[in-house]
Amino acid sequence: MATATVILLDGLAYGMVLFIISVGLTVTMGLMRVVNLAHGGFAMAGGYLAAMMIRAGVPFFAAAALATLAAGILGGIAEMTVFRPLYRKGELAQVLMTFGLTFVFIAALTWLFGTDVKILPIPSYLAGPVDLGFRTYPTYRLFLIVVGLLLFLLVWFVIEGSLYGARLRAAVDNPRMARAVGIDVNRLFTITFVIGCALAGFGGVIGAEMLQLDPFYALRYLVLFLVVVAVGGLGSFKGSFVAAITLGVVETAGKFLFTDIAAFLLFALVFVLLLWRPNGLLPPKSVA
Amino acid sequence: MNPAWHALPWLLAIAFYFTAGGYLSLGTSILVYILLTLSLDLALGYAGIITLGHAAFFGFGAYGAALFAIHVNADPLLGLVVATAVTAVFAVVTGMLILHTQGVTLLMLTLAIAVLLAEAANRAYKVTGGDDGLQFTMGPVLGLFRFDLWGQTAYLYTLVILFVWFVIAWKVVHSPFGRSLDGIRQSQARMRAIGTPVWWRLIAIYAISAAMAGSAGALSAQTTRFVGLNTLGLLVSGIAVVMLVLGGTRRLYGAFLGAAVYVVVQDFAAKVNPFYWMFVIGGLLMATVLFLEGGLMEVLDIGRRWLRRLLRGSDPT
Amino acid sequence: MRRILLGLGAAIAMLVLPGLAAAETVKVGVIGVFSGGFARWGEQFKQAIEVFQKHHGKVVNGNTIEIILRDAGGPDPAKARQLAEELILREKVQFLAGFAFTPNAMAVAELITEAKMPTVIFNAATAVITRRSPYFVRVSFTLPQVSAPIAVWAPKNGIKKVVTVVSDYAPGHDSEQTFIKVFKANGGEILESIRIPLSTTDFAPFFERVLQQKPDAMFMFGPGGPPSVAMINTWASRLKPAGIQLVTTNETQAIDLPKIGRAAIDAIGSSNFTEIIDTPLNKRLRADMTAMFGPDQVPDVATVGTYDGLQLIYMTVAKLGPRPNPDDVMKFWTSGLKWESPRGPIAIDPKERDIIQGVHLRRVKEVDGKLINVDFEIVPDVKDPWKEENK
C-alpha cells in the first residue's frame, strides 16, 4: 500500500510537469492549427534563464517568476516575427520553420553555455525528504503536484470564468463563427501564445529536476509534449490535463510493475488511446 | 517541361562520379537520402499522409537487407528485393491500423510505430546486435562488381536503383491513381462522395512509399556493410521531412534538391566548425520558409524563367 | 616517459642534423561527436588535443602533425564510415583516431582493415571492438575492465546482496554481465537485474522496485549525461536513506560531480581514471585545463584517452617517421608498449591491442566543501576480462 501511494505520487508529479509545459501548445495548436515544434525551446529557455539567475543569487521563486515572464516575452517576439508569416502557409512550412528555429535555439545555447547539463538548484527547504507517516518522500515532488493542481485550477478559472476564456473557447470551437461575431482571433492567438510560452518556461524551471536541462532538451522531450497534445485533444486544456496525468500515472505504475516491457509502455499506450479516440480524450466541439 | 531538364540531375550525378575523388561515399549517402525523401514525397507530398515515422520503413529495410545477407544470401540485388518486399508488407499491416486517422493523430501514430519498432530492435539484440549494430559482408553486384574501397560500385549501384524508383514514382504520380491522390489530399470527404475507395488508395500509396523507403534503408546498409539502431531513429524521420519541404513538395525533383543541399551544407558547415553547424542549417530552413514559398525548387523555377527570357529576349508571361 | 624522452631526443637530433629527413605533414583524422546531444564528448576530445599540443607542440622530428576533426553528430555508423573514407581517400591521413561511440568504431572496422589504416580508439568502450580489425588499438578502457574489480571488492566488504540496474543498451549489458559473473564467483548474490530503457526520464519507479528488494547495494550503469545525473539523484533521495549503497563504474566523474551535487556523497565508483590523482602528468594536465578553458574544467576519461592516443601517435611518428608502413605501425603498437599516462602507467596488450591499466576503486567525499573521488584501492595492471573469457 505504501509503495502504491508512492508510485501514484510519482506518476502525478511526472504528469503535472508534462501538463504545465504542454498546455500552452495544446491550446495554440487547437486555436490556429500552427504546428509548433519549437515549443520545447521556450521551456528550455525558461529553465536556463532561471538556472543562471539562481546561480547569480536570485531566490528560487523570484527566478522562476522572472524566467516565466522572459519566456512569455520571448514567445511574444517569436510570434510577431517568425510565426505571423506562417499562418497563411501550410503545416509543412510551419514544421520546417519551427524545426529550424529549434536548431537555432540549440546552437545558441551550446554557444552560450556549452553542452553540459545545467543544474537548477532547488531551495533547501524543498530539497529534503518529508515524512508521510509510513515513509519519507522527496518534498519537491509533493511541491510539483501542488503547483500543478493550483495551475490547473487557475487555468480552469480563467478559461471558464473570464471574458478572455469565453472568447478563447468560442474561437477554438468554431474560428469562423468567432471571427464573424467580431472576436479578434489573431490577437487572441498572440495572447494565448505568450501565455503558453510563459507556462512552458515555468514548466522548464520547476520540471528541471525531472527533465534535465541541456541544449538538446528542445528536441529530446518534444515528443513527450506532442504526445500530451495528441492524446488530450487539440485545443482542449482539460484534455491535456487528463492526458498528462493518465500518461504519467499509467507509465510510472507500468514501469514499476513490468520493468521488462518498460520501453514499450508509453507509446503502446499512446497507440491504443489514439486508435480508441482519434480526436483525443476530450476534444473540443469543433472536432468532436 | 522541356525533356532536356529531366536529363540534368542524372547527368550531374554521373559527372559527380568522375569528379568526386574521395567524396563518392558522401555522394552515395546523398543518393540514399534522395530515395528516402522521394518516398516521403509520395506519401506526404502527394497523398497528404502526415507522417513522422518513415524511419520505421528505412530501418526495416536496412535490417531486412543485413539479416538476409547474414543468414540467407549475400547477393545484393536479391537482398534488396526481399528487404523492399517485407517493408511493403509491414507498411500494409500498419497502414490498415492507422490510415483512417488524419493530422496530428496520424502523426503521433506513425511516430509511435517507429519508436516501438526501435525499442523492439534494441530489445532483440541477439538478432539485431542492439546498440553494437550488425557488421556483415556483401557479395558482388550481379556477381561481377564487388563493393570496392573507393565506393565506386556502391555509388553506381545506388544511382541505378534510385533511377528505377524515380521512373516508378513518375509513372505513379502521373497515372489516374496518382491524380486521385491529389484529390484525397485536398478533401477525403469529397473523394469519398464521388466513389473513390479512399482508404485502399491510401494504403496502396503508403505501401509503395514504404517499399521505396525500405529500399533506401537496404541500400544504406548494403553500401556501408553495417546497420545500426540509428536507422530507426526519430532523427531520420525528421530529417526526411525537412529535406522534402526544403526542396519542395509534390515535385519529385524537390527530393533531389532538398536532400543534396541539406547533406552538403551540413557536411560543409560541420567541417568549418563542428560545434555550430546547427546555426547554419537552422537559418537555412527558416530562410527557405520566409522567402521561398515552394522550397528550393522555386529557385530553379526562377532561374529557368530567367534563362528562357534571356534566350527569347522577351517575357514569356 | 622514457619513450617520450627518447622521442624528444630523436627530435632534437633531427633538428640539429638538417637534411636527414624532409619535413612532412602527418595527418591524423579524428572522428568524434562535436554536435547534437552528445557534443560533450567532442568538446573533451578537442580540449585534450589543445592541451596536448601545448605540451608537446605540433612538430615531431620536423614533421608537422595536423589534426583533422570530423563530426559524426552522434551514434551514426553510416556517417562515421563515410567520414573515415573521406579522411583516408581524400585527406590521405596516416592515422585514424577518435570514436566516442561503439557503433561508429565498429562501422569502420572493415574499411580500416582493407585500407590498412592504423586506428586509435580514444573512448568507445565495448570490449569486442579491437577484435573487429587488426588495425585497431585502444587507449581508453573497456567496460568489463572497470566493472570486474569492484565486483571482487564488494563481497569482501559487506556487500552480499545486490540489485543491478543498467541502461538497456550494449554497454549496459557488457557492464551488467561482467559484474554479475564476477560478483557471484566471489560469493555475492544477485536479487534482481533491471534494464532501464534509454528513453527514460523519471527513474523513480525503477528505484522503488530496488527498494522493495532490500539489497545491500545497487550496481548501476547509466548512459552518461542527464540520465546518469538523474539516476544518482534518485538513488540519493530514495535508496540511500534506507541504507542501500550505490556501486557504479564511471558515473561519478569529477566533471559530473558538481551537477549531481551532494547527492553523490558516499557513492562507490570504479574507474580507470580518478581526476585528482597525483601523477606529475595529471597535475600538469589539470593546471592547464583550468588555465585554458576555465576554472570548472577538469580532465575526464575521454580527455586522458585522447591525450594518450596522441602520445601514442607522436611516439609512432618519432620512431617510424612521417610515412610509416601500416604494418610496421601495428608491429610497433604490439611490441609491448608501456608509457606514462596522466592516469599512471599504462600498457598495450600485444595480443589484443587493448589497454592494460590500473583501476581505481573510490568513494565520493566532500572535502573542504568540494566533492571529490577518494581512491581507497588501486587494482594495478587490469587486462580486459572479457577477452580472457572469450579467447
User: pLDDT of C149-194, one tens digit each?
Assistant: 999 999 999 999 999 999 988 889 989 999 999 999 999 999 999 9
Nearest by CB to residue B238, choosing from A86, A99, A280, is A99
Nearest-Cα residue of chain B relative to residue C127: B132
More confident residue, A12 or A85: A12
Q: Is B292 touching A (CB cutoff 8 A)? A: no
Q: Name the residue facing A256 among C39, C43, C205 (closest C-beta).
A: C205
C-alpha cell at C249: 563504474
What pLDDT score does B274 carry?
Answer: 64
CB-side neighbour CA atoms (13 Å) of A146: 6
C250 φ, ψ to 5°?
-95, 15
SS3 C357: strand
Residues of chain A with C-beta less than 8 angstroms from the C-beta of C35: 110
Number of folded domains that form chain C: 2
Q: What is the pLDDT of residues C97-140, one digit of tens each?
A: 999 988 899 989 989 998 999 999 999 998 999 999 999 999 99
pLDDT at B272 exceeding the cut of 80: no
Contact across the interface for B286 and A268, Cβ inside 8 Å: no
pTM of the predicted model, to two decimals? 0.88
Q: How far apart are CA B222 and CA B204, in angstroms?
A: 27
The stretch C225-237 carries a mean pLDDT of 87
Q: What is the pLDDT of residue C18?
A: 43
More confident residue, A28 or A53: A53
Provide the pLDDT for residue B317.
46
Average pLDDT for residues B120-141, to the nearest whole number? 89
Report the distance separating Cα A30 and Cα A280, nearest Å: 12
Return the number of CB contacts < 8 Å for B and C. 116
C59 plus C78 within the same structural domain: yes
Terminal C-alpha separation, chain B: 16
Of A119, A136, A266, the CB nearest to C241: A136
Q: What is the pLDDT of residue C3?
A: 55
Higher per-residue confidence, A263 vs B153: B153
Q: Nearest to residue A98, comparing CAs of A75, A118, A127, A114?
A: A75
Same domain, C62 and C88: yes
What is the residue whose three cell numbers read 547533406? B263
Beta bridge partners of C71: C32
Q: What is the mean pLDDT of chain C?
A: 89
User: Does C137 share its domain with C81?
Assistant: yes
Is A74 a residue whose pLDDT tops 90? yes
pLDDT exceeds cutoff 80 at A166? yes
Chain B residues with beta carbon closer than 8 angstroms to that of C75? 131, 228-230
Higher-scoring residue by pLDDT: B90, C224: B90
Q: List chain C residues with CB under 8 Å of B26.
A: 82, 86
Q: Where are the alpha helices (DSSP H) in chain C?
A: 2-16, 39-56, 77-89, 102-107, 109-115, 143-156, 170-185, 204-213, 225-234, 257-260, 280-293, 301-320, 326-333, 385-389
Query: How far is the C-alpha of A177 from the C-alpha of C10, rounded, in Å?
Result: 86
Chain B residue at shortest CA distance from A97: B286
Residue C298's domain comprises 2-141+277-353
Question: Are the beta carbons of C44 and C112 closer than 8 angstroms?
Answer: no
Question: pLDDT value at position B14?
Answer: 93
Residues C34 and C105 grouped into a single domain: yes
pLDDT(B294) > 80: no
Residue pair C307/C51 in contact (Cβ under 8 Å)? The answer is yes
Angstrom distance (rounded) from CA A270 to CA B105 = 10
CA angle C305, C124, B269 (to 5 degrees): 90
Do B116 and A267 make contact, defined as CB atoms within 8 angstroms?
yes
- Chain C hits for A244, CB-CB cut-off 8 Å, are none
CB atoms C34 and B270 under 8 Å: yes
Q: How far apart are CA B93 and CA B81, in angstroms?
A: 19
Q: What is the pLDDT of residue C16?
A: 47
- With H, G, I as helix, E, B as strand and everything else as coil, classify residue B53: coil
Query: Could you give the number of structural domains in chain A?
Result: 1
Model confidence at A92, pLDDT cuts 50, 70, 90, reads: confident
Joined together, the cell numbers standing for residue A262 give: 518498460
pLDDT at B143 over 90: no
Q: How distant, in Å, are the alpha carbons of B34, B42, B52 from that of B92?
A: 23, 15, 17
Other Cβ atoms within 10 Å of B195 Cβ, number: 7
- pLDDT given at position C373: 92
Query: Residue B311: its pLDDT value, please?
Result: 82
Shortest distance between the Cα of C168 and any Cα of chain B, in A, equals 8
- Assigned domain for A281 exists: no
Question: How many pairs of residues across A and C have Cβ atoms under 8 Å apart?
Answer: 80
pLDDT, position C22: 60
C137 lies in the same domain as C153:
no
CB A100 within 8 A of CB B289: yes
| Position A285 pLDDT exceeds 70 | no
Asked if C204 and A253 come within 8 Å (Cβ–Cβ), the reply is no
Res. A40: pLDDT tops 60? yes
The three cell numbers of residue B292 are 521561398
- The grid coordinates of residue C194 equal 533491471
Q: Given a cut of 90, is residue B281 above it in pLDDT?
A: no
Nearest CA in chain B to A216: B278
Q: Which three cell numbers stand for residue C24?
A: 612532412
Distance (Å, rounded) from C-alpha A134 to C-alpha A204?
Answer: 31
More confident residue, B102 or C379: C379
Q: Do B133 and C103 touch (CB under 8 A)?
A: yes
Average pLDDT, stretch B80-101? 96
Q: Which of C43, C201, C239 to mutate to test the interface with A (most CBs of A within 10 A)?
A: C201
C297 and C195, same structural domain? Answer: no
Q: Are A169 and A192 within 8 A, CB to CB?
A: no
Q: Are B122 and C198 a contacting pair at CB < 8 A?
A: yes
CA atoms of B257 and A164, how far apart (whole Å): 46
Identify which of A211, A224, A259 has the shortest CB distance to residue C209: A259
Q: Decide if A287 is inside a domain.
A: no
Residues of A in contact with C227 (CB under 8 A): 212
CB proximity C201 to B under 8 Å: no
Check pLDDT > 90 for residue B148: no
Distances A38 to A96, A217, C252 between C-alpha atoms, Å: 10, 11, 33
Q: What is the mean pLDDT of residues A269-276?
A: 91
Do residues C56 and C108 both lie within one domain? yes
C341 and C365 in a common domain: no
pLDDT, one tens digit per residue, over B165-217 is 999 999 999 999 999 998 998 888 899 999 889 999 999 999 999 999 999 99
Do residues B257 and B12 touch, judged by C-beta distance below 8 A? no
| Chains in contact with A, where contact requires at least 3 CB pairs less than 8 Å apart | B, C
Residues 25-84 in A contacting C (C-alpha not used; CB under 8 Å): none
Contacting residues of B for C78, CB less than 8 Å apart: 29, 220, 224, 226, 228, 230-231
DSSP codes of every residue in B271-307: HH-TTSHHHHHHHHHHHHHHH-TT-THHHHHHHHHHH
CA–CA distance, A275 with B166 (Å, rounded to integer): 34
CA C325, distance to chain mean position in Å, is: 27
Question: Which one of C206, C225, C238 has the shortest CB-CB distance to A117?
Answer: C225
Instruction: Give domain status of residue A284, yes or no.
Output: no
Contact state of A278 with B286 under an 8 Å Cβ cutoff = no
| CATH number for the domain harbouring residue C131 | 3.40.50.2300
Grid cell at residue B74? 549475400
pLDDT range class, residue B316, cuts 50, 70, 90 = very low
* SS3 per residue for C89-153: HCCCCCEEEECCCHHHHHHCHHHHHHHCCCEEECCCCCHHHHHCCCCEEECCCCHHHHHHHHHHH
- Residues C204 and C257 occupy one common structural domain: yes
Chain C 219-248, CB below 8 Å of chain A: which residues? 225-227, 229-230, 233, 237-238, 241
CB < 8 Å from B in window 179-198 of C:
197-198
Select the residue of C77, C85, C168 nearest B228 (Cβ to Cβ): C77
pLDDT at B35 over 50: yes
Q: Answer yes or no: are the C-beta atoms of C144 and C175 closer than 8 Å.
A: yes
The reply to whether A3 touches chain C by the CB within 8 Å rule is: yes
Q: Pairing relation of β-strands C95-98 and C25-32? A: parallel
Considering chain B, what percentage of its residues have pLDDT values greater than 90?
56
- Neighbours, chain B (3 or more CB pairs < 8 A): A, C
- At A15, the pLDDT band (50, 70, 90 cuts) reads very high
Q: Has residue C17 got a pLDDT over 50? A: no
Q: Please state the rounded mean pLDDT for residues B224-251.
A: 90
Name the residue facing A115 among C39, C233, C241 (closest C-beta): C39
Contact partners of C by the rule of 3+ C-beta pairs under 8 A? A, B
Domain hosting residue A14, numbered range? 2-276
- Claim to verify: residue C45 and residue C123 sit in the same structural domain: yes
Mean pLDDT of chain A: 89
Out of C74, C91, C102, name the one closest to residue B132 (CB).
C102
Q: Tell me if A111 is assigned to some domain.
A: yes
Contact A271/B109, CB-based, under 8 Å? yes
Estimate to the nearest angstrom the gap between the alpha carbon of C23 and the chain centroid: 33
Domain identity same for C150 and C244? yes
Nearest CA in chain B to A37: B238
Residues C21 and C161 occupy one common structural domain: no
